[in-house]
Chain A
């Protein structure tokens, strides 16, 4: 068996230490070692975005990042978004707009939308569609997802 490495990183603001094999992706570490199963595996090769997390402020597919690469970095996952008594505005907008059906892609879309709105709080519909094109949803036809993100942008800029 491959020898495991010790990694120290920050996840959702908390210092976290874990052991992982070099070949384990960040997605595997989050799900199998740390039991943060909000990030989902849809393709494991960077094409569906269901495993989207934010790494040092940058949106990544966690299936394409190795666990050991997160040493000393900061990871934001869907589990860290809501406050104890209140959802994040993007989460609220997804619920209000019925922007999910089966929900498997939802954590990825929300993290992706957060990365967009963090850098561009008032995107156009086209900018939203361009940015979210790395996330696949097979249920909704994207209509209500795009509208949910437009709603958050409208509220933030109002």
Chain B
């Protein structure tokens, strides 16, 4: 493994991304841009109620409407078994999966899909939806996690019973599962503490907020071949999910990933893709289904609202002796809140001997939650990093110094079991402390500074890459990872580094599921790490094959050919030299084309740490919090393309700022989201923000040939607590509810 600090030719440079020109000229084709002869347009009818039993659905008026070519409901789905399938993103209960596509017996949230229409125009499809008669028996909704956990709460599922550490309860409940992690002896740890801080926290439901709504176009050939063109984070997981939902063989499904307009975890689960396929089957025509923005807010997975309680104790000299957390997360309509990841991450920036963490996955009448950038970790860190700040304050220790005293390092055990490999936790704290921002004057009235750290474990999973060598010294790199933020470049650069060629000599293509080996989703901060690793392996194979060609050309033994700096040379005797490019021109006469492939499922993803510093100003009259200055430090292991690493850090930090200050689903008592538009669900605009200073720390990951760590997710973990801590510094009030919007600030300040 080449993990020591060394000079690279391509890695660490900032070439223009390969798909850049297509994307600045409007030529790049996203899912909704797909056109096809004879295309029909689909539209989904959604539930107006948050919780209701479906008594009947009558589609006859819609079917008779001119221009309508087909209508589907859950009756058109194969009977779903109540069994669990692994679809590449963890286990999923198929009944739940199918019911979320088209509700069969109950609707469980406002916006739940009930039926769908295919028609000759999107407007006709929309009009026809209003002609579908659905009779509902409305039930009381349960909209908050603590209410849902109460014994007399309305039940979403009659058959759902709590699984708690291997045991299943007898009575149905909204609590799908309870997990617990324990390390050491928490009681003893708290007894040793000189000071204990305990607080509870509430966070709202927030959405990934990708700008491109979900889309899907499907076509069934007469031979049964199904093709789906769509925006997705993972073409192979779409293939698997559609195959399970429609009970159709994966060998008859081809998924073509179009360009994707943001995902952040929200474009892994399928919603309208199976619906488009059902409509295509029914009509015999290709059908395109698009969501509008309200559909996206109401019908796709946000990230959970949560209730979090954190208790931590420390000695007078600043050593944390024990930590306890209670995490209750809203799963939405079906089980699967990311409480597990929240529990894995909550105390991971610290070396603590005595820890206990309880996590609860709870169903409520809101859309089924989906992953959102480091799912679960931000909710948890808002609590723990606020409590850490308060401990440091009460002990009169600088908050970054407090983190250095307790910082996690190689060999420490996380409460959920794994032992940390080489990590860069302390390095990010040191870099934040040394940054000019941290010592800049900030003494104005109602101005404050806060810090927070965060952790995300990152994942590996399967990736495949094929490299075809061209006669002009370039290579075509075939991959299955959809490119959401510049990964064509970061993967191509790793292959280029191996072969000693410029990044521009690689032509990367993201291809369909028939054209590349299995590749898991673009998620978990895995793509530059794992697909990059596969590209490295494929390039190594190309290199070995090219060495064999040079040996053949020179009639020497392969062992006598070496490759360095893009040149093959003969050693031990014969003086021969040929560049990669010139050898490429001779492939025909030395044995034919050269193709290399790499397939990986690497286990050494290596966790990522971040420490953020933020200055805010609190307007005492309006309660508005303005972010004045923001510095985000992060360990990237090795930054392949630093500009896109900075971009991930900046984008993640700003999503965190939105979560901290503005963003939340606002529900009325009936369970209707009252702000399902970009006007009322306020994501940050550029006017709300300063520049975001992204500082890259490089502590190479021993689990990757170039030391890469995933960078995409951890930057969203610290901002909420960092801003809460800055608000405390500004006005002396601990904010414990997200978002920290003007009304909540005014309330906290006693002004309303």
B20 is an interface residue with CB less than 8 A from chain A = yes
Q: Which residue of A lies closest to B30 (CB)?
A: A104
Q: Which residue of B lies closest to A100 (CB)?
A: B23
Residues of chain A within 8 A of B210, CB atoms compared: 102, 104, 138
B213 is an interface residue with CB less than 8 A from chain A = yes
Pairwise interchain contact B261-A102, C-beta atoms closer than 8 A: yes
Pairwise interchain contact B21-A95, C-beta atoms closer than 8 A: yes
Residues of chain B within 8 A of A77, CB atoms compared: 26
B212 is an interface residue with CB less than 8 A from chain A = yes
Distance between Cα atoms of A7 and B24 in the complex (Å):
28
Residues of chain B within 8 A of A42, CB atoms compared: 211-213, 261, 293, 678
Q: Which of A54-77 contact B (CB under 8 A)?
A: 77
Closest Cβ of chain A: how far from B139's Cβ, in Å? Answer: 31
Pairwise interchain contact B21-A107, C-beta atoms closer than 8 A: no
Which of B21, B290, B678 has the largest number of chain A CB atoms within 10 A?
B678
Residues of chain B within 8 A of A45, CB atoms compared: 293, 677-679
Given contacts A43-B678, A138-B683, contact A107 B20 (CB under 8 A): no
Closest Cβ of chain A: how far from B694's Cβ, in Å? Answer: 8
Distance between Cα atoms of A31 and B29 in the complex (Å):
12
A29 is an interface residue with CB less than 8 A from chain B = no
The binding surface of chain B is classed by DSSP as loop
Q: Which residue of A lies closest to B657 (CB)?
A: A141
Closest Cβ of chain A: how far from B41's Cβ, in Å? Answer: 9
Q: Which of B506-528 contact A (CB under 8 A)?
A: none
Pairwise interchain contact A91-B24, C-beta atoms closer than 8 A: yes
A106 is an interface residue with CB less than 8 A from chain B = yes
Pairwise interchain contact A40-B293, C-beta atoms closer than 8 A: no
Given contacts A43-B677, A136-B685, A140-B650, contact A38 B26 (CB under 8 A): yes
Distance between Cα atoms of A41 and B689 in the complex (Å):
24
Which of B66, B653, B684 has the largest number of chain A CB atoms within 10 A?
B684
Pairwise interchain contact B678-A47, C-beta atoms closer than 8 A: yes
A6 is an interface residue with CB less than 8 A from chain B = no
A10 is an interface residue with CB less than 8 A from chain B = no
The binding surface of chain A is classed by DSSP as loop
Residues of chain A within 8 A of B651, CB atoms compared: 101, 138-141
Interface string of B668-694 (1 = CB under 8 A from A): 000000000111000111111101101
Interface string of A32-55 (1 = CB under 8 A from B): 000111111111110110100000
Interface string of A128-142 (1 = CB under 8 A from B): 111011111111111
Residues of chain B within 8 A of A79, CB atoms compared: 25-27
A87 is an interface residue with CB less than 8 A from chain B = yes
Pairwise interchain contact A23-B123, C-beta atoms closer than 8 A: yes
B260 is an interface residue with CB less than 8 A from chain A = yes
Residues of chain B within 8 A of A11, CB atoms compared: none
B292 is an interface residue with CB less than 8 A from chain A = yes
Residues of chain B within 8 A of A94, CB atoms compared: 20, 24
Pairwise interchain contact B643-A144, C-beta atoms closer than 8 A: yes
A115 is an interface residue with CB less than 8 A from chain B = no
Distance between Cα atoms of A101 and B646 in the complex (Å):
11
Q: Which residue of B lies closest to A41 (CB)?
A: B32
Pairwise interchain contact B262-A136, C-beta atoms closer than 8 A: no
Given contacts A79-B26, A91-B24, contact A101 B647 (CB under 8 A): yes
Q: Which residue of A lies closest to B263 (CB)?
A: A102
A116 is an interface residue with CB less than 8 A from chain B = no
Distance between Cα atoms of A98 and B264 in the complex (Å):
19
A110 is an interface residue with CB less than 8 A from chain B = yes
Pairwise interchain contact A101-B485, C-beta atoms closer than 8 A: yes
A21 is an interface residue with CB less than 8 A from chain B = yes
B497 is an interface residue with CB less than 8 A from chain A = no
Given contacts A133-B687, A142-B654, contact A103 B678 (CB under 8 A): no
Closest Cβ of chain B: how far from A105's Cβ, in Å? Answer: 5
Pairwise interchain contact A95-B16, C-beta atoms closer than 8 A: yes
A81 is an interface residue with CB less than 8 A from chain B = yes
Distance between Cα atoms of A133 and B485 in the complex (Å):
22
Pairwise interchain contact A87-B689, C-beta atoms closer than 8 A: no
Which of A21, A96, A137 has the largest number of chain B CB atoms within 10 A?
A137
Pairwise interchain contact B24-A50, C-beta atoms closer than 8 A: no
Closest Cβ of chain B: how far from A46's Cβ, in Å? Answer: 8
Distance between Cα atoms of A144 and B645 in the complex (Å):
12
Among candidates B32, B485, B684, residue contacting A102 with C-beta atoms closer than 8 Å = B485
Q: Which of B238-287 contact A (CB under 8 A)?
A: 259-264
Pairwise interchain contact A31-B33, C-beta atoms closer than 8 A: yes
Given contacts A42-B293, A98-B14, contact A107 B26 (CB under 8 A): yes
Q: Which residue of A lies closest to B208 (CB)?
A: A138
Closest Cβ of chain B: how far from A51's Cβ, in Å? Answer: 11
Residues of chain B within 8 A of A158, CB atoms compared: none
Pairwise interchain contact B677-A98, C-beta atoms closer than 8 A: no
Distance between Cα atoms of A98 and B212 in the complex (Å):
20
Given contacts A38-B27, A98-B643, contact A143 B293 (CB under 8 A): no
A82 is an interface residue with CB less than 8 A from chain B = yes
Residues of chain A within 8 A of B678, CB atoms compared: 42-43, 45, 47-48, 136
Closest Cβ of chain B: how far from A131's Cβ, in Å? Answer: 9
Closest Cβ of chain A: how far from B434's Cβ, in Å? Answer: 21
A78 is an interface residue with CB less than 8 A from chain B = yes
A146 is an interface residue with CB less than 8 A from chain B = yes
Q: Which of A114-129 contact B (CB under 8 A)?
A: 128-129
Q: Which of A1-45 contact B (CB under 8 A)?
A: 1, 21, 23, 31, 35-45
Distance between Cα atoms of A101 and B648 in the complex (Å):
9
Among candidates B261, B684, B691, residue contacting A104 with C-beta atoms closer than 8 Å = B261
B191 is an interface residue with CB less than 8 A from chain A = no
Pairwise interchain contact A44-B293, C-beta atoms closer than 8 A: yes
Pairwise interchain contact B686-A48, C-beta atoms closer than 8 A: no
Distance between Cα atoms of A107 and B650 in the complex (Å):
20
Residues of chain B within 8 A of A40, CB atoms compared: 30, 32, 211-212, 261
Pairwise interchain contact A110-B24, C-beta atoms closer than 8 A: yes
A145 is an interface residue with CB less than 8 A from chain B = yes
Residues of chain A within 8 A of B27, CB atoms compared: 38, 79
Residues of chain A within 8 A of B138, CB atoms compared: none
Given contacts A37-B33, A40-B211, A95-B17, contact A78 B686 (CB under 8 A): no
Residues of chain B within 8 A of A107, CB atoms compared: 24, 26
Among candidates B24, B30, B689, residue contacting A100 with C-beta atoms closer than 8 Å = B24
Residues of chain A within 8 A of B689, CB atoms compared: 129, 141-142
Distance between Cα atoms of A133 and B682 in the complex (Å):
12
Q: Which residue of B lies closest to A77 (CB)?
A: B26
Given contacts A47-B678, A98-B644, A104-B261, contact A133 B17 (CB under 8 A): no
B35 is an interface residue with CB less than 8 A from chain A = yes
Pairwise interchain contact A91-B25, C-beta atoms closer than 8 A: yes
Pairwise interchain contact A48-B647, C-beta atoms closer than 8 A: no
Given contacts A102-B210, A145-B686, contact A78 B643 (CB under 8 A): no
Given contacts A31-B33, A44-B292, A101-B651, contact A95 B644 (CB under 8 A): no
Distance between Cα atoms of A123 and B66 in the complex (Å):
53
Residues of chain A within 8 A of B262, CB atoms compared: 101-102, 104, 138-139
Q: Which residue of B lies closest to A132 (CB)?
A: B686
Q: Which residue of A lies closest to B648 (CB)?
A: A101
B484 is an interface residue with CB less than 8 A from chain A = yes
Closest Cβ of chain B: how far from A139's Cβ, in Å? Answer: 5
Residues of chain B within 8 A of A140, CB atoms compared: 647, 650-651, 654
B655 is an interface residue with CB less than 8 A from chain A = yes
Among candidates A1, A50, A81, A141, residue contacting B650 with C-beta atoms closer than 8 Å = A141
Given contacts A48-B678, A146-B691, contact A101 B25 (CB under 8 A): no
Residues of chain A within 8 A of B578, CB atoms compared: none
Instruction: List 11 contacting pairs A-B, 8 Å CB cutoff, sorted by A.
Output: A42-B678, A43-B678, A48-B678, A50-B211, A79-B26, A98-B647, A103-B24, A132-B686, A132-B687, A143-B691, A144-B646
Other than the given A42-B678, A44-B292, A79-B25, 20 more pairs (CB < 8 A) read: A1-B124, A21-B123, A37-B30, A40-B32, A40-B211, A41-B32, A41-B290, A43-B292, A82-B25, A97-B643, A98-B14, A101-B484, A102-B263, A128-B686, A133-B687, A137-B686, A138-B211, A143-B694, A146-B686, A146-B691
In the A-B complex, list the 4 residue pairs whose CB atoms are closest, starting with the nearest. A38-B26, A104-B261, A141-B654, A103-B23
